[in-house]
Structure 1
Amino acid sequence: MAEHDLEKLKIDRGPSAAAVPRRRRHWLRWAIAALIVLALIAVALKLTGPQAVETATVTSAYPSQSYTLLNATGYVVPQRKAAVASKGQGRVEWLGVLEGSVVKQGEVIARLESDDVAASLAQAQAQVKVAQANLQLQRAELKNAEVDLKRYRILVPQGAIPATQFDAALARFDKAQASINSDEAAILSARANAQAAQVAVDQTVIRAPFDGVVLEKHANVGDNITPFSSASDSKGAVVTIADMKTLEVEADVAESNIARIAVDQPCEIQLDALPDVRFAGRVSRMVPTVDRSKATVLVKVRFVDRDARVLPDMSAKVAFLSKPVPPDQKQAVIAVQPSAVVTRGGRQVVYVIRQDTAHEVPVTAGARIGDLLAVQGVKPGDVVALSPGETLKDGARVTVAKK
């Protein structure tokens, strides 16, 4: 083979074969640069975008929380309560009260049909009059027998009358005297029967046993009233009344905490129905037994001041205090979490969050109330940022961090 032909067999190592790795290195540089740019953009967005903050709500707090030893829950219960019924049996013919009616002691609440017992009373009263008439008759007989006996006592010694006639006069006198005693006993018996009949009549009139308020109405006109009734067509009680002056809160306290409670200890009562009101209370008494199933002791707390809005069976929370609340600390104050208050430019501020924007609000901090801090300058319901960092500024956009 000629030398010229061998040169044609050489491998071509020209520029077309080296261009491939250079192209790969060129795209690699562009990819690294793009990643750096994206990272810088992410950092910039993080610095300039909404900041995530934890928030809390401004609330109302009572200074008495600083004196609270322990808390318990319970219900308002009247200590004087009665299901009013009649010892007699009959049908209701008149009912004069409704739920919520205020009644006085001795006031007529209802009446039962009384025709039968009224007739028995009239008969018993007539028997009294008959016994009294018989007594008058026997007294007249005794008087006549006594006159005869005196006359015969004079005539017998003179022999004017036989002894047998004197004996008959004496027997007549003794009999008349015995009849007097019998008729007097009959009058007492008739009067007792009349009194029993009067009681039966009185039992058809149902009266309030004490001053109170009607809580429930169990019967209506036409219902049968039977004492201790279990029949489906009869009632046992007509109404249930309670003395509102005896309302107390009955709360269960764990037996491990009972040593921290004493009779007449000051308390503060909050009712679920009146959440914005605090009632002053005192420990009335502690029931001297433990509920085994719950390991609690029943503590009764009385209201210091009567309030017409307090009703039986209301849910209540009781705070047992170490000392009475001073008069100037009985009103609620505005409070926040202490971490929400920070110092900016030598003044205390909080950051109120409105429409995803932080607004710097100057406040004046007060005393600690339990886990909260009393402040002035915000209002209950405001949402504030907790532990705001130095980067949080007035007007900054924020998002609420999920807890």
Structure 2
Amino acid sequence: MPEDDVSKLRIDKSKVSIRRRRGGRLLFWTLVAGACGLGVLLYRMGILAPAVEVTPATVQYLYPSQAFTVLNASGYVVAQRKAAVAPKITSQLVHLAVEEGSRVKADQLIARLENEDARAALDRTRAEVELARHNLDQARAEFENALQDYERSRRLIVPGYITQAEHDAAVARMKTARAAVAAREAALRAARAARDEAAVAVGYAEIRAPFDGVVLTKNADVGDILTPLGAAANAKAAVVTLADMNSLQVEADVSESSIGQVNVGQPCVIQLDALPDARFSGRVHMIVPTADRTKASVMVKVAFLEPDPRILPEMSAKVAFLSREVGADEEQPVLSIPRSALITEGERSTAFRIRGDRVEAVPVRVGRFLGSAVEVRVGLEAGDKVVVDPPASLRSGSKVKSLEG
């Protein structure tokens, strides 16, 4: 009987093995189902989904005037009133009163040349004028004396107190004295003309500004020999180059095929490469009535509406020809994105902002439409990247691949 009791304590291993096999399969399929569910969840969240190829665009500031720009052209700032100030005589430069950047008024002294010979000639002609004046005074005195003798002779010839020969001599002296006075008057006029000529020659040594302007370049220094033609060895022709800054205009080249879109008086916006943050209002001043066959273009001169001391000749410029005037509320730039980056559902607008290799849906508040762009007032900042023409499958958190090209 004890043996029977011991046998009852034995475990049936076949039943245990079946239970273990069934429990392992259940755990395996449970893990598989959980992995699949997690995969589907991660895919829907965009974590396991393949990267979506998108075209990015940068959120940037845009001037409203760009929405009604009909044509763009490039050119240079050119002074329409410009002069290379040069002397009319050949001499040595002894004094220079200006330098680059100096502002001068009309008739202001710019430079002085050596002119001792001209001054000496002026002194001589002044003395000759004095001499001619004294000679005239002497001739007039002699004429008065001869005229008195003639009057006495005329009264005495009738009663016969003097002979006819004496009377004829008195008449001749009177005529001679009269001619001498005329000759002395002519000599005085000639002396005065010579004096004035000498004074002009002295003035040639003083080089003065022909108009109000700014000195652009200094072409000579004290000690240089200046000559009108500049043909002599080591000689200079111009002393300075002067420009009237109030006459600055942009000379832009417009292609022949587009010149029909430009009209005299048309409003423009000018931007200088040297001042990228500044924009200047302008107006078409002139369409030059000839074409450049080498460039197939026509020159258009655009005047600045308001002068600015920062604008300098020969600066490169870009001109935007507008279809209408810029309004008071259109002068400042506004933040903008392409209209194709905007998703509108009812009154709600959204854009996909790119963060690294993923996107996030950002609610935005928009303003006016500016051609192919739209103003963004709230939601984005300058420099952000947004998706242009987002695909319908794109979700917030989706992985993306940017197509920069």
TM-score band w.r.t. shorter chain = 0.7 to 0.9
What TM-score, normalized by structure 1, do the two folds share? 0.83
Residue of structure 2 in register with 1:223 after alignment: 224
Relative to 1, partners in 2 of residues 1:232 and 1:51: Cα closer, same or farther, differing over 3 Å? farther
User: Matches of residues 56-205 of structure 1 in structure 2 within 5 Å?
Assistant: 56-205=57-206
CA RMSD in angstroms comes to 2.4
More moved, 84-93 vs 153-162? 153-162
More moved, 247-256 vs 392-401? 392-401
- In 2, the alpha carbon distance for the partners of 1:144 and 1:346 equals 116
More moved, 62-71 vs 379-388? 379-388
1:325 aligns with 2:326: yes
- In 2, the alpha carbon distance for the partners of 1:390 and 1:157 equals 137
More moved, 338-347 vs 327-336? 338-347
- In 2, the alpha carbon distance for the partners of 1:83 and 1:153 equals 70
Residue of structure 2 in register with 1:291 after alignment: 292
- In 1, the alpha carbon distance for the partners of 2:370 and 2:347 equals 24
- Residue 383 of structure 1 aligns with an amino acid whose one-letter code is K
Q: Any idea what the Cα deviations from partners look like across 1:63-102, whole Å, max 9, x if unmatched? A: 1122222111111111111111121221111111111111
More moved, 47-56 vs 207-216? 47-56
State the shift of 1:167 in Å. Answer: 1.5
Q: Any idea what the Cα deviations from partners look like across 1:17-49, whole Å, max 9, x if unmatched? A: xxxxxxxxxxxxxxxxxxxxxxx9xx9899346
- In 1, the alpha carbon distance for the partners of 2:223 and 2:159 equals 80
Decide whether the 8 Å contact of 2:77 with 2:249 is kept in 1. Answer: yes
- Residue 199 of structure 1 aligns with an amino acid whose one-letter code is V
Residue of structure 2 in register with 1:304 after alignment: 305
- Residue 273 of structure 1 aligns with an amino acid whose one-letter code is A
Residue of structure 1 in register with 2:271 after alignment: 270
Decide whether the 8 Å contact of 2:249 with 2:302 is kept in 1. Answer: yes
Residue of structure 1 in register with 2:388 after alignment: 386
- Residue 76 of structure 2 aligns with an amino acid whose one-letter code is Y
User: Matches of residues 233-382 of structure 1 in structure 2 within 5 Å?
Assistant: 233-343=234-344, 347-376=348-377, 377-382=379-384
- Post-superposition, which runs of at least 4 consecutive aligned residues in structure 1 deviate over 6 A? 43-46
More moved, 167-176 vs 291-300? 291-300
- Residue 380 of structure 1 aligns with an amino acid whose one-letter code is A
Q: Report the secondary structure of 1:288's partner residue.
A: strand
State the shift of 1:246 in Å. Answer: 1.1
Q: Report the secondary structure of 2:48's partner residue.
A: helix
Q: Report the secondary structure of 1:138's partner residue.
A: helix
Relative to 1, partners in 2 of residues 1:115 and 1:354: Cα closer, same or farther, differing over 3 Å? farther
More moved, 223-232 vs 96-105? 223-232
- Residue 247 of structure 1 aligns with an amino acid whose one-letter code is L
User: Matches of residues 17-28 of structure 1 in structure 2 within 5 Å?
Assistant: none
Decide whether the 8 Å contact of 2:49 with 2:399 is kept in 1. Answer: no
List runs of 5+ in structure 2 lacking aligned partners: 1-38
- In 1, the alpha carbon distance for the partners of 2:176 and 2:148 equals 14
- Residue 83 of structure 1 aligns with an amino acid whose one-letter code is A
State the shift of 1:322 in Å. Answer: 1.4
Q: Report the secondary structure of 1:174's partner residue.
A: helix
Question: Percent identity at matched positions?
Answer: 49
- Residue 260 of structure 1 aligns with an amino acid whose one-letter code is Q
List runs of 5+ in structure 1 lacking aligned partners: 1-39
Residue of structure 2 in register with 1:53 after alignment: 54
Residue of structure 1 in register with 2:18 after alignment: none
Q: Report the secondary structure of 1:160's partner residue.
A: coil
Relative to 1, partners in 2 of residues 1:69 and 1:48: Cα closer, same or farther, differing over 3 Å? closer
State the shift of 1:56 in Å. Answer: 1.8
State the shift of 1:184 in Å. Answer: 0.7
- How many positions carry a matched residue from both structures? 362
Relative to 1, partners in 2 of residues 1:346 and 1:253: Cα closer, same or farther, differing over 3 Å? closer
- In 1, the alpha carbon distance for the partners of 2:177 and 2:253 equals 75
State the shift of 1:135 in Å. Answer: 0.4
